[in-house]
Structure 1
Amino acid sequence: MPWWAQTLIGVTAALLLVWLALIAALLIAKPEKGLLREALRLLPDVLRLLRRLAGDRDLPRGVRVRLTLLLVYLAIPIDLIPDFIPVLGYADDAIIVTAVLRSVVRRAGLDAVRAHWPGTDDGFAAVCRLAGLTTPAPPSAT
């Protein structure tokens, strides 16, 4: 068998194994339905936030590239776990968005994310809670 065929088989097997491991991890972790429902309710604001952050030239290029890749991933109809699978279908998207948001906050700061947040203060607090971030006090009206 030629080397390229062996490589192709190996890569395919590795991707299949990683995909199965992801499904197993999601089945074991089973995100809470309440948190998932809250995440889906905030989806329009989160998508606007990601687009605004990706377009902000003041943020580091690596952050903007990550956000752009995330938006492309979310726009592509092919997912790691198909969306028609109850709970888990949307959980993979929520987990990836959460990981990228955490990465953006570590690199750009929570204030940059707050400055671009299009929704309410309660929505921002919910996004911070979902992403496991500490939320600063809301801006005071003076």
Structure 2
Amino acid sequence: MPLSGRLRSWAKRLKRDGVTLWFAGRHPSTPWHAKALGAFVVAYALSPIDLVPDFIPVLGYVDDVLLLPGLIWLAIRLIPPAVLADCRARADEWLRERGARPVSRWGAAFVVAVWAAACFGAWRLWSG
């Protein structure tokens, strides 16, 4: 398989696993530590706003290419296999029916809160 095909396949799995974590967070058999990490990852992955905007050279894509896949990989590893299989099936069905991932308003609020805190901290340093 050519590199472009492998990258496309990897991106689809990553998208599916983001939705899988969304379902795993609501599954009663998911351990609390997997839910906690999964909630953070889902809030960030499904947020319509990036924490580091893509127009910033290099750093704009580091979160999309390294940080997010690493966090998704870690969160997936914390979920029991039976729960993971069930949630992946639900995620596949969701993506097949709706064609798009869900959007996290909490994730958008989280990103806005981080940016607001950073701006407030910078203002305090500059004015103080």
Per the normalisation by structure 2, the TM-score is 0.50
Q: Which has the larger radius of gyration?
A: 1
Q: Is contact 1:36–1:91 with CA below 8 Å preserved after alignment? A: no
Which one of the candidate residues 65, 78, 82 is aligned to 2:51? Answer: 78
Matches within 5 A, 1:86-101: 88=62, 90-92=64-66, 93-101=68-76
Residue by residue over 1:69-99, the C-alpha shift from the partner in whole angstroms, topping out at 9 and shown as x without a partner, is: 111222251149313xxxx563212222112
Measured at CA, do residues 70 and 113 of structure 1 come closer, stay the same or move farther in structure 2, by a change above 3 Å? same
SS at match of 2:34: helix
Q: Could you say which structure has the greater relative contact order, defined with CA pairs below 8 angstroms and 6 or more residues apart?
A: 2
Q: Distance in 2 between matches of 1:55 and 1:96?
A: 18
Q: Which is further off, 37-46 or 47-56?
A: 37-46
What RMSD, in angstroms, separates the aligned Cα atoms of the two structures? 2.7
* Structure 1 unpaired stretches of 5+: 1-31, 121-142
What SS does the corresponding residue of 1:57 show, helix, strand or coil? Answer: coil
Map of 1:111 onto structure 2: 82
* Cα distance change of structure 1 residues 89 and 66 upon mapping to structure 2, 3 Å threshold: closer
Q: How many residues were matched structurally?
A: 81
Displacement of 1:64 after TM fit? 0.9
Q: Which residue of 2 aligns with 1:39?
A: 10
Provide the secondary structure at the position in 2 that maps to 1:100. helix
What amino acid does structure 1 have at the position aligned with 2:18?
A: L
Superposed CA deviations along residues 3-25 of structure 1, whole A, max 9, x for unmatched, are xxxxxxxxxxxxxxxxxxxxxxx
Deviations 1:7-52 (A, max 9, x none): xxxxxxxxxxxxxxxxxxxxxxxxx765443221234422221111
Q: Return 5+ residue gaps in structure 2 as ranges.
A: 54-58, 94-128
Cα distance in 2 between the residues matched to 1:101 and 1:42: 12
2:25 matched to 1:54? yes
